Amino acid sequence: MVAETGVNRLLAQANLAWLKHPIDDPRIAGMRENIQRVNASADTAPGFVWRYQEGEDATGVRVLDDPSILYNCTVWTDLDSLKAYVYRPDHGQMLRQRREWFRPPPHPPNAMWWVEPDTRPTVEESLARLDMLWRHGPTRESFTFSSVQ
């Protein structure tokens, strides 16, 4: 449905995850203890450009007035690089275990959009892109893996 025709554009993605328990709860330890390893894997993945951080990661960012929501935002050179990272073994293992740590999302948890090479999305912009997706479905301004051509 959505295809990028621009030249020299990067792919931004933002995602949210709704924790089952507080971030410091022992039942979340397996996820919490692997965040740095998974982020380091992203940082060195082919096509990775940037990720939002406050300190070592973004687990302290609070969005939508809900302390159970974890926020993440990254920028990639292209869709294939992002997909390759998402499904590679270290991140893929976290995906397979997500039901242990996270509630099913009430909305699509991931939004993507094309950005200029020097753009680094803010938390506010990410939330606006997610809101666009939730209100209007996939568009050129906010789309998902399944809506990209």
35 CB burial (10 A radius; 0-12, 13-18, 19+): middle
Please determine, for residue 12, whether its predicted confidence score (pLDDT) is greater than 60. yes
What the block records as the tokens of 36 is 């740095």
Based on C-alpha coordinates, what's the Rg of the chain?
A: 15
Reported as a single tens digit per residue, the pLDDT across 104-135 is 999 999 999 999 999 999 999 999 999 999 99
Between CA 2 and CA 5 the distance in angstroms is: 10
pLDDT at 1: 41
Please determine, for residue 100, whether its predicted confidence score (pLDDT) is greater than 70. yes
Reported as a single tens digit per residue, the pLDDT across 16-71 is 999 999 989 999 998 888 888 888 888 999 999 999 998 877 878 889 999 999 99
pLDDT at 148: 72
User: Which element (helix H / strand E) includes 41?
Assistant: helix 35-43
CATH fold for domain 10-147: Alpha-Beta Plaits (3.30.70)
Where are the domains positioned within the chain?
10-147
